[in-house]
Structure 1
Amino acid sequence: MPGVSQKGMAMPASPIRKLVPYAEAAKKAGTKVFHLNIGQPDIETPQVVRDAVRAYDETVLAYSLSEGNLSYREGLSAYYQKHDIPVNVEDILITTGGSEALSFVFNACMDAGDEVIIPEPFYANYNGFAQAAGVTVQSVTAKIEDGFALPAIEEFEPLINGKTRAILICNPANPTGYLYSREELEKLRALALEHDLFLIADEVYREFCYHGEKPTSVMNLDGLDQHVILIDSVSKRYSMCGARIGAMITKNEEVRNTALKFAQARLSPPSLAQLAGEAALQTPQSYFDEVIEEYVERRNVLVDGLNAIPGVRCPKPKGAFYCMAELPVDDAEKFCQWLLESFSHNGNTVMMAPAAGFYKNAETGRKQVRVAYVLNVEELKQAVDCLRAALDAYPGKVEQTNVAHAE
């Protein structure tokens, strides 16, 4: 029987989705599963988007341009400029989600054997996109005791060699919710210039910053026009994950034209979803004001609740809708599987993403989990209560004392 490729065997499974069979089995057994494992918000997609999809009445659902509809790119350009981000229509390539944008970047900017440096913990699929492109991930570790702040630039320097092509960050960050400061980004700017590297920034959570914090886009860093590549998506901003519309944005014409060849090979991004994305640009600010207020309450309920459990440590995020928590367990993946296979509390259990898959060295995240606060407040309270009971009952519990909680 023909075998699969070495590349396929090396492709990592998603730590976010790998426990799905256990969750489905728990549900069939009558247990309610609180899904805190995946960034699928329960927030309503804006009414203006739903209305636009309902009103669509073209007789042919045709291809769009490979780079995306012009009217949508014009709307996006206006959106960025409204946020003081200097992006023009010609800088934008529409993609099938932010995932395809990242895949285009890896393939357009790097050859097999090249390297990219990513602060960890990082969005697990970055590893998958790199693996598919034959690119090696090198990591610098952000520490939970520092609230997952950017590691010292001195930790980046030893990793830079003749194969290093780029630094990749997510800001605000998935999975930690950390928001990089302007000062931290300026340090990365200097590093990119000194070593002639691309600085790739996944900014899909831009709208979700709390307590008046404002994100700094890499597009606002001086002197980096030829180095910066911005990744964006409608999925989380407008709670329309299923639309699969993203963007790759750069002022580097050579990179953009090279990425366009990959875009042409897949023909075009989804036409109807682009219509939805264009309509989403008309979403009123009141929508975001309400969503941010909701996420702040959810974050506080979840993170404060977790930190009130003995032995748990969880820095409070300033953005996105995720947090990383360290648990008093022998192995977070075993604990997460045990939650679904062997535990229920008042008929409930919790599904989380084991954090090992968010690190290059799985051992670093062995006792950590990523938790998404995408459920309503009452369900989050029940989930925290369930976790407290689970940690009391778990046979692999490890006693920890004097845990400091980074803010």
Structure 2
Amino acid sequence: MKILVVGGGGREHALVWKLRQSPRVTQVYCAPGNAGISQMATCINIQAGDVYGLLDFAKGEGIDLTVVGPEIPLTNGIVDIFEKEGLRVFGPSRVAAEIEGSKALAKDIMDKYNIPTARYATFENPEEAKEYVQKYGAPCVVKADGLAAGKGVIVAMDDETALAAVDIIMAQRIFGQAGDRVVIEEFLQGEEVSVLAFVEGDTIIPMISSQDHKRVGDNDTGPNTGGMGAYAPAPVYTEELAKVVERDILRPTVKAMASEGRNYRGVLYAGLMITPQGPKVLEFNARFGDPETQPVLSLLETDLVDIIDAILENRLAQQEVKWKDGASVCVVMAAGGYPGKYLKGQEIKGLDQAREGVEVFHAGTTTKDGKVVTDGGRVLGVTAIGKDIPEAIQRVYQAVESINFQGAHYRKDIAQRAVKRLGVE
């Protein structure tokens, strides 16, 4: 089986790594890939957003299955376009992917079908948005409606920050067209958890839970990023809570999407806040998360190709999905300046040291003069598995400390919330 993975980040490296473990796979291609991916797949110089370039390659190369990583090709309709040409592709259709492509649409569906989420309002006029802020006051959350690479969310703890956020998104347009509209939500208190699920028709198989670390600095300080690290499973997400989420959020959402003519097939990502009133939805994504995919797939025991086949052949209900015991922790090593303007072209040293239970997933890397160099804001996702969270933490930070490049920075508290909750050291 020949597989094409679309994308070039840490999530895609993890997907390539996992797909290659299947005995059914003979060749993996990745477009555009990165320096790490190139060591285990053939990288193709086609950007993830070039849907028709990808289509031509898949047809010409006789690709048996295309797995789409990022949100942009999904919201651009890559699944519809490939399927129209008779190609097998894993991901939701364009109209289904809009649950991520438009935060306003997602909120409207949740409101209509009584899926628990924060109170909100949507605005196309910045002055009306500011009036709303002044009426209800902070703290609140100001979100660009469209896709903004995970950075279009500003948590405002005071009115001044909230009003400035409206200007940043709608007037300064730092997120481009994503800022045509803003969604302003009430601020939810609690602990976040990411729940990804395999979905096909009425069948939903949740993956093990994970927790992302969005802020750039330790103790959740500084601006939001695409994610500075993640771990799985999340102790806050108990078996009882998982049943509530499946009953009150996942199943009603998939059913609501079908009722709206947006039948869902693929991976559905629910970003949740566990509040004193119960779990509430912060956002939905229409694909594997990044960096959550790295620790989650590290613990997946079942052949991922088998799961994808079951979804595409409408038999997910008959597919068993097994998980390994233990835990996994991913620490993102970022470029100097990230999430602002960052350095590129810095040589990365220490990648060739073998480490037990550790995988180094490349996110923003390339090769130059035979050396691996930085080429993105989030450079590496160093990921370790262990018998429990503390062991995985120890392993991952030992590995991180042996890797270096100029300007490198990373959070030193990934998974510490889990350690406190478990009451271990």
Whether TM exceeds 0.5 here: the answer is no
TM-score, structure 2 normalization = 0.31
TM-score, structure 1 normalization = 0.32
* Larger helix proportion of the pair: 1
Higher RCO structure (Cα 8 Å, ≥6 apart): 1
